[in-house]
Amino acid sequence: MDRFPDLTRRQLLRAALAAGVLTGAPPWAPAWARPLSGSAARVQGGRPGPVTMEIAIRGESVDIAGGMGSGITLNGTIPGPLVELYEGHEAVLRVTNHLASSSSIHWHGLLLPFEMDGVPGVTFPGIPPGGTFEARFPVRQHGTYWYHSHSGLQEQSGMYGPLVIHPAGPDAHPASRDYVVVLADWTFEDPHDILGKLKKQSDYYNLQQRTLGDLARDISMSGWTATLRERLAWGMMRMSPTDIADVGGSTYHYLMNGLHPAGNWTGIFEPGERVRLRIINASAMTFFNVRIPGLPMTVVAADGPAVRRVEVDELQIGVAETYDVIVEPDARAYTLFAESLDRSGYARGTLAPREGMEATVPELREPPVRSMVDMGMDMSGHAGHMRGMHAGHGSMEQMPAGDPAAGPHGRDPHQGHAMAMPDESHAGHDMSAAAGPIVARHGPDTHGSGNAGVAHVQRDRLGERGAGLEAVKHRVLVYTDLASPTPQPDAGRPPDRELELHLTGNMERYMWSFDGAKFTEVEAPIEFRYGERVRLILVNDTMMEHPIHLHGMFMELENGQGAHRPLKHTLSVKPAERVSLLVDAVEPGRWAFHCHLLYHMEMGMFRVVRVSDPPGQPA
């Protein structure tokens, strides 16, 4: 890797950020170190208009996470510089590659010509060493987005940054302060070494294995028979209920705006001000649970587009998702706490009325464990009992007929009304510990050797809280809370066809795929006809959450909000979940479609969606 050390400048920057120097930031500080203005007419960079920006990719020795490491910087920083664009105007982003290897930048969530999307092998060849690529496109949206490398494992080494697009009209949620909050995971290991370890031993980084003490506790709570049956089932699947994250705190340092917890990124406010936080999960492999103890958050946007206001105390943010929240803090310090899903570490920052203030940092909570629902089992009427696990097989599909499937119009016992799939009203936050209704049972296809098993019982889990948050006493954001403020333009248009894809994998062999086939084993792209409306059904046959991202187009999430379905570019699909989205194929070209867990994508959970040209244009 090329190295262009600039340690004095970087050390000054880290010191300034750690001290909370945000309102009077030095001129060389990256834009994400300063508050954005609440008015698009007064943001850094002057009046709204076309933007031309130069971005340089370099390999450097970086002072980060309390040590020195080899990273990939963008304009000398990790994260890279804030890219600020203006809806209705042109953007010209010139990226120059100073590495010794090919590179790229993908503009995550942006609507733009596919040739500008930045995915090597799909939309362009990549940026060669010493080369420059110019992305030129009209800006057709507003909101909070981000950008990152789409070449190999470069993203893990720091190649990502925030992107904010200011609206052409008045901001629907003006705020006195506007901060970007970039969450990430950093490792001093070579990312290729991490992948090699996972291939050899998939639970290499899982230090939270069950102990004899856990066995004794479970026997006392559930009895010998149920406990041994449960242990046998997990053993036959060669999986552990503590497999929450492939990579965790044994190698990861969790960062907020490039700083580890001791660095304490600080956002300053005046008492009585409304503060907007643009939370971006730019990590390679980490889901975060985000909360500000003592301070409610009002969610106003998800993945860029606005959503109806919903007040929560905590949210789980999947890899590559973004959420905008508004807070109204009192005259004291607050901890902005982002706990990793497996509870192996955290990123944190501070909101405070003056520099140098801190608040109590919460203790890490107990790690979550996987459940029989995550295994795709029918638990109805048999609490604690794993119905359907065939004694001689380790796969999840070995389930006898048992109870009849609830089907697409099963009844949700927690709400007392008919549960529709996809578009009647769902449960909200309060179905905290309950499994969603069964919406389908798996067919005979087991997807071959690329898949360890299938979720025989598929559930609607959009109204469920994320793993580990089922029993917390405060309000937690769930996907059924999200609603577009205005009806979608094609809200009443039925889909022209349905396409079902299964998220598949073999954890023991560390293989990841769609429908049991890795990207390298698939020759043809997924074809969308220009102008058609496709219902995309995703079924997660694995026991992990997968953040699934479609490039170039938004997806309408069928979450029970009817005409007010929210738009998503990335959706976290829970284990054994069946979820549907509507896609209007109006962006011609070749688009990447993949799991945004970096090592899953690298190992094959990746496809290409090709939208045909409009009628009358050459193919």
Report domain extents, the chain: 7-173, 497-611
| Cβ-Cβ contacts under 8 Å for 75 (sequence gap 6 or more) | 30, 54, 55, 56, 81
Domain 7-173 annotated CATH 1.10.30.50: no
Confidence (pLDDT) at 44 = 36
Cα 310 to the center of its chain, rounded Å: 20
| Cα first-last separation, the chain | 40
Confidence (pLDDT) at 508 = 86
Return the biggest CA–CA distance within the chain.
Answer: 71
- When pLDDT is averaged across residues 350-379 and rounded to a whole number, the result is 91
Asked if the peptide bond before residue 79 counts as cis, ω within 30 degrees of 0, the response is yes
Backbone phi, psi, residue 225, to 5°: -65, -50
299-313 burial: b if 16+ Cβ within 10 Å, else e: bbbbbbbbbeebebb
Higher pLDDT, 40 or 360: 360
Share of the chain above pLDDT 70, in %: 79
Q: Is the pLDDT of residue 138 over 50?
A: yes
Contact 268, 22 (CB under 8 A): yes
Backbone phi, psi, residue 300, to 5°: -125, -10
The partner residues of 253 in beta bridges, in order of sequence, read 186
Confidence (pLDDT) at 120 = 98
DSSP 471: T
Query: pLDDT tens digits for 485-510?
Result: 999 999 999 999 999 999 999 988 99
Domain 497-611 annotated CATH 3.40.50.620: no
Confidence (pLDDT) at 27 = 36
Helix (H) or strand (E) segment spanning residue 349 = strand 346-352
Q: Which of 258, 254, 297 has the alpha carbon at shortest distance from 277? A: 297
Query: pLDDT tens digits for 275-299?
Result: 999 999 999 999 999 999 999 999 9
- For residue 192, name the pLDDT band (cuts at 50, 70, 90): very high
Single-letter residue type at 20: G
Query: pLDDT tens digits for 61-115?
Result: 999 999 999 999 999 999 999 999 999 999 999 999 999 999 999 999 999 999 9
Confidence (pLDDT) at 449 = 79
CA distance 105 to 101: 14
Q: DSSP letters along 158-208, please?
A: T-EEEEEEE-SS--SS--SEEEEEEEEEE-SS-HHHHHHHHHH-TTTT---
- When pLDDT is averaged across residues 201-227 and rounded to a whole number, the result is 69
Backbone phi, psi, residue 217, to 5°: -65, -45
Q: Which of 282, 318, 279 has the alpha carbon at shortest distance from 301? A: 279
Contact 610, 616 (CB under 8 A): no
Q: What integer best gives the mean pLDDT of the chain?
A: 84
The helix/strand count (H/E) of the chain reads as 5, 34
Q: Do 7-173 and 497-611 fold alike per CATH?
A: yes
| Cβ-Cβ contacts under 8 Å for 325 (sequence gap 6 or more) | 276, 277, 279, 297, 298, 299, 300, 315
CA distance 219 to 151: 48
- When pLDDT is averaged across residues 317-341 and rounded to a whole number, the result is 98
User: 192-206, 239-253, 369-383, 385-399: which range is least confident on average?
Assistant: 385-399
pTM of the prediction?
0.85
Contact 598, 515 (CB under 8 A): no
Higher pLDDT, 454 or 286: 286
CA angle, 237 then 240 then 242, to 5°? 155
Confidence (pLDDT) at 391 = 25
Confidence (pLDDT) at 157 = 98
